[in-house]
Amino acid sequence: MIVLRVFVSSTYLDLLDHRQAVAEAIRGLALHADGMETWPADARDSSTYSADRVRQADVYVLLLAHRYGWVPEGAQFSVTELEYRAAREANVPVLAFFLDEQVPWPPEHIEWEARNELLRFKKDVENAVTRKHFRTPQELALQVTQALAQQAARPAERTHHRFAGLARPLSTPSRLMSEPDVLVPIGTTEDDVPLVLEVSRSQDLSEPFRQLRAAVSSSSMPPPDELLETFRASLVDHATRSWAAADMHEVLMRDGGQRTLYVLPRTLAGIFRSAMSGFLGPQPHVVDSVLSSAALRNPRPVQISMAGGFKPELQSTGGRNRFLAVDPETGTTLSVGRQRGRFVEWRPFVCESVTAVLPNTTLQLDADDGLEGCPVGEAAEFLMRRLHAHPAGATGRILVFTSVLRTDLQALMGVVADIADALGALHADGVVHGDVKPDNVLLTKDGVRLIDSFDVRPGHQAPGWTPDWSAPEQVRGEPVTPCSDIYPMAVMVVQALGGEIVGEVRKYRTPRSTSMPRELDLFHSPSLYLEPGAAPMAERGVRPWRDLVERSLSFETENRPRSMAEFAAELRTLLADHPLHGTRDLRPTGDFLATRLLDGSEAVTRVVTSKQFVARFDDFV
């Protein structure tokens, strides 16, 4: 889930402790506190830059005490008031908090010469929004927490032709090298909606700066605020350059050269799931978590041909050594892996699209007045219309809709037959895939695409296997044949039908050198179980479907269909003679986000974030 941004606006040194308390309260709600403490260096003047950040915020928090604040040269208002006005103009919700007039306050933090401007400003705020009074940082933190919780539960204001300040601006990928926090385009999602990546690398410096200020002051000597402000500006400038360099890595490319790329510190498996995996229901799936080297004890070697004869082994182990990389110069996205202490290019990052493969798929949206839907090819335009017609679905910039892609089971099983065709072509070239499963099948604009093949020659031993998917002979370390790929295709059919594999099992003890469980159950006489009354075909079709599945799952390879072409032909015959009914749903990647695109237009996009769990790259050796 994307993190909401809360902009904290105030004069600085007089409210330092209060800003810190507010920032902690915001983070306690799992939100992002956006204040000057974390800002990067920028070519724009400070008032323009802060106003731009206000327009990008989801909520604006205003703190006022006894200072009006700095008025930029040539400006009519202080920076704080300019930020407030930017929030009002952009329709960003404003939460205002004033210091109680009865609270004793240090004279050096009272701006007597600007008192009239401050009183006018406070009056304008009181006339526009509800404000609360605070006495201590702790009381303020509690008030902010309560106000943000109430704001989250409140429906957003109605928007009309545009997003009225809700849209977050995209950055060009080149900003990855100079700004720690950016929003960059990386492709499209399964429903052809633009996909953007939220990169968040900055950190909150308010607490260490508060501690420094306290350390250099005493009851008899106030802190050197002017000196501290100069130091803070220099520190933030240095920190910004450091943050912007985070996650920038030298990557060894296939052509033998090196490029500096931004590498997302989350595994691809922790963010993306193949469309087939989503449609077919719960799958064994890699959890996005901090990895240890123990997870790589039984990796499969994959040879990548490099210029100059260099062929590193890129270890995968279920997708956990796969990371998304973005080229700041070209915007190209790649899949990379960690090998021997460095990153190596694996393959281009492929965006899935169900449009070409499942053209009748619809986007189903959970709206206030019932379920709405549209053809998946019209999803982007539909979402824009939906937001304008039902603005209560928007909270800040996150568009709070529940959406799924829905397709007919009959059509989905047809895609399974297409996958069998692709495997048949691979077999014709004398290659066994060896790792067939939904996660290794992508639905693209060009059709079905197989990825991460073991590329095993028939009669040879596969370098690895996947529990619950690999054929029994492959798990036992025996030579594989094209029929070894038929077994996981049958498992795929079982999952599409909503069934379960049952029957006699035999124990198999794995070698100690592997990271797999010491004992596994291998089906010896498998059967297809379909819940009574819930089979997705007519009663007369249950036996023929069960017959194909059980033969294809046979422990003995000679009992399976003789080839992948025969399996595909039988599957299509079943679809024609005993068609399936029902639908299957897929939750598309990312949350909805109102975005201002690089060409200035506004659109609904989906967003994934660089935060969550972080993989330790050093674990991949």
pLDDT digits (tens, 9 = 90+) for 569-581: 999 999 999 999 9
What's the pLDDT score for residue 516? 64
User: CA-CA distance, 601 to 205, in Å (whole number)?
Assistant: 35
pLDDT higher for 379 or 451? 451
In the prediction, which pLDDT does 53 show? 79
Q: To the nearest 10°, report the CA torsion of 585, 589, 592, 597.
A: -130
- Dihedral of alpha carbons 469, 473, 478, 484, sign: negative
In whole angstroms, give the CA distance from residue 216 to residue 571: 78
Indicate the DSSP class of residue 44.
S
**Residue 533 CA, distance from chain mean position:** 38
What are 52-111's pLDDT values in tens digits? 778 778 889 999 999 999 898 888 999 999 999 988 888 889 999 999 999 999 999 999
Residue 62 is predicted with a pLDDT of 96
Domains and CATH numbers, the chain: 5-154 (3.40.50.10140), 362-408+585-603 (no CATH), 409-579 (1.10.510.10)
Average pLDDT over residues 131-148: 93
Q: What's the pTM?
A: 0.69
The pLDDT, as a whole number, for residue 366 is: 61
Side-chain half-sphere CA neighbours of 199 within 13 A: 32
Whether residue 388 has pLDDT greater than 70: no
For 251, 313, 325, 617, 621, the CA distances from 338, given in Å and listed in that order, are 9, 10, 12, 7, 7
- Unique residue bearing structure tokens 């950190």: 203
C-alpha span between 196 and 576 (Å, rounded): 41
**Residues whose CB falls within 8 Å of the CB of residue 80, separated by 6 or more in sequence, listed in order:** 9, 10, 11, 62, 64, 68, 69, 121
Q: How confident is residue 231, by pLDDT bands cut at 50, 70 and 90?
A: confident
What is the pLDDT averaged over residues 431-460? 94
Is the four-CA dihedral 190, 418, 279, 440 of positive or negative sign? negative
CA 516 – CA 467 distance, rounded (Å): 9
**Sign of the C-alpha dihedral computed for residues 366, 367, 370 and 374 taken in this order:** negative
Whether 394 shows a pLDDT value over 60: the answer reads no
